[in-house]
Amino acid sequence: MTKKELIFLGPPACGKGTQTNKLAEYLHFPHVDTGSLLRAEIKGETEAGKEAKGYIDKGQLVPVELVSRIIKNRLSQDDCKNGYILDGYPRSVEQAEELEKMNAEIDNGGDTKFIAVYFDIDTSILVERIVNRRSCPVCGEIYNLEFKPPKVAEHCDKDGAELTQRKDDTREVAQSRFDTYNKETAPLVEYYTKKGVLKSIDANGTIDEVWERLLEVIK
Ligand code: AMP
């Protein structure tokens, strides 16, 4: 069986998290989301979490060694052997090269298909999206107070938990996250285009519209 390695690129709040949560359920693949893994390390007050916190609070990338170690551990686990959805990694050319090394070691010559999906979106709406974003601390479901509000105010539709707002979802930190994205992550679009593995989708529109476009490109 061909293993499917799916990675996702796009600016902060482009809808990757919402779509990749859905896709993980649909394909029965693990959803490996570096931002959530790092936030779990912070919550658990681990050494990695303590190191990462300062960078996250400023909207900068955490050091490549730290994030790559966490990702390699996760991708080596048994539930990733048929495929995985990687959301938020790689975020720089250096990380993309790390991922290639990791995959070569983990896959060990097995049959794999690698696809990088790029969410192409009008960025002018994204800061508003970020400040209105809330998420469920239990299941990870993402809401937006304006575009996708929960049925009961401030509570998750799936499990009733009280929704939380990410500490870095403020206007100031958002601006710095966009700057980091433009400088470090945007060059990956060209990087994967040159390798012939990039699939670009129009990420403007409703969740259902983007979902249909996503299904077309990951076949
Ligand atoms: P996200 O949840 O994907 O928006 O990520 C939140 C924050 O976690 C980012 O602003 C970075 O500080 C950090 N982070 C997430 N993924 C990475 C990564 N691949 N490399 C470095 N830092 C990351």
Q: What is the pLDDT along the chain (219 residues), one digit of tens a residue?
A: 899 999 999 999 999 999 999 999 999 999 999 999 999 999 999 999 999 999 999 999 999 999 999 999 999 999 999 999 999 999 999 999 999 999 999 998 889 999 999 999 999 989 999 999 999 999 989 999 998 999 999 999 999 999 999 999 999 999 999 999 999 999 999 999 999 999 999 999 999 999 999 999 998
Q: How far is CA 41 from CA 56, 138, 166, in A?
A: 12, 15, 14
DSSP code, position 100 = H
Q: Is the CB of 144 under 6 A from ligand 1?
A: no
The Å distance, Cα 56 to ligand 1 centre, comes to 7
Catalytic residue check, 177 = yes
- The β-bridge partners of 9 are 118
Q: Which amino acid appears at position 167 of this protein?
A: K
Q: Is the CB of 55 under 6 A from ligand 1?
A: yes
Question: Which atom of ligand 1 is the closest one to the Cα of 36?
Answer: 2
The answer to whether the beta carbons of residues 197 and 189 sit under 8 Å apart is no
Name all domains of the chain by residue range, CATH numbers in brackets. Answer: 3-217 (3.40.50.300)
